[in-house]
Amino acid sequence: MMLSKIHIYLPLIVLFLLLFLFQNPTVLKVIAVYALVFLLPFLSIFLIVSGQMKKGWPFLVEMLILTVGALLFLLFLNNRLWQIVSIVVFCLLLGFFLRSVYAFIHLIRFYTPEKIEKIMKIINFVASYWVLSGFGILIGPDPFWLPAYSCFVLTFVLFFWLFYFFIKIGFTQGDIWERSIMSLILGEVYLIIRFLPFGPYFNALIISLIFIILTLWTERKNRKRLPLTT
């Protein structure tokens, strides 16, 4: 019974913790709150998929990406208003995510795959933007700095997983090699646009938009390939 309402309780707890943290942040508070916000959603998903780990383990990875992306993004925000907006968005996505996973695992007769798929697309778009924005700030603006080239590897791994997730869960069909090529292209594009004077936030937005466009395009293409049934 508690798990069926966790999508309500946990986001409220996370909202309180993050608002409390950024009201007057200190190093000790950052470590303590970040540890809690990192662990609580992961443990919640673990409890939801417990017993059906073979079916539900991809959601654990998705939760890690969403949480790490949000925490990394918040770490570099200095504007109080944007901090509050980002915290609220994170908590809303967290609630939708928890509810969707619970429905996917435990309410198989009642959940609608299309609705869950749409929610996961939104979550993947926002999570990819947060991860790339935070990482872009972390490695600095100099595109010639050698560690900056690690952004290519990160982008490839990130988007390969986000593409693979929809195939693994069964939301879509497709060739994994095709998704690999798309991930490589996204990594190369991200590496190139770092030479442009847009800044990490705009760079991340461009790549995330290209990612969601490719996701929708491949989904539409694969649906056209499906044989008609009578």
Note whether residue 227 is domain-resident.
no
Per-residue model confidence (pLDDT) at position 35 = 95
Q: Are residues 55 and 126 in the same domain?
A: no
pLDDT band of 228, cuts 50, 70, 90: very low
* Whole-number pLDDT of residue 226: 45
Residues 40 and 90 in one domain: yes
In this predicted structure, the answer to whether residue 223 has a pLDDT above a threshold of 70 is: no
Q: How many domains does the chain contain in total?
A: 2
64 lies in the same domain as 150: no
**Distance between CA 148 and CA 167 in Å, rounded?**
30
pTM: 0.88
Taking the CA of residue 114 as centre, how many other CA atoms within 13 Å lie in the half-sphere pointing to its CB? 0
Based on the domain organization, do 142 and 83 belong to the same domain?
no
Instruction: Write out pLDDT tens, residues 129-185.
Output: 999 998 888 877 666 666 667 777 888 899 999 988 888 876 666 677 888 898 999
Copy the structure tokens of residue 125: 């778009």
Domain check: are 68 and 167 in the same one?
no
Name residue, tokens 């928890």: 98
- pLDDT at position 216 is 85
The pLDDT score that the predictor gives to residue 96 is 92
121 and 93 in one domain? no
In a domain, 229, yes or no: no
Tell whether 72 and 165 lie within a shared domain.
no
For residue 143 the two structure tokens come to 């595109």
Mean pLDDT of the chain: 85
* Same domain? 78 vs 153: no
Supply φ then ψ for residue 140, to 5 degrees. Answer: 90, 170
pLDDT class for 227, splitting at 50, 70, 90?
Answer: very low
Per-residue pLDDT of 64-74, as tens digits, reads 999 999 999 99
The pLDDT tens digits for 15-44 are: 999 999 998 888 999 999 999 999 999 999
Which residues constitute the domain of residue 172? Answer: 112-222
Residues 57, 65 contacting (CB under 8 angstroms): no
Residue 220 has pLDDT above 80, yes or no: no
Taking only the tens place, the pLDDT of each residue in 100-143 is 888 888 876 666 677 788 888 999 999 999 999 988 888 776 66
Same-domain pairing of 63 and 23: yes
Confidence band for 85, pLDDT divided at 50, 70 and 90 = very high
Furthest C-alpha separation in the chain: 64
- Residue 78 inside a domain? The answer is yes
Question: Does residue 152 sit in the same domain as residue 214?
Answer: yes
Q: Is the pLDDT of residue 55 over 60?
A: yes
67 lies in the same domain as 122: no
User: Are residues 68 and 86 part of one domain?
Assistant: yes
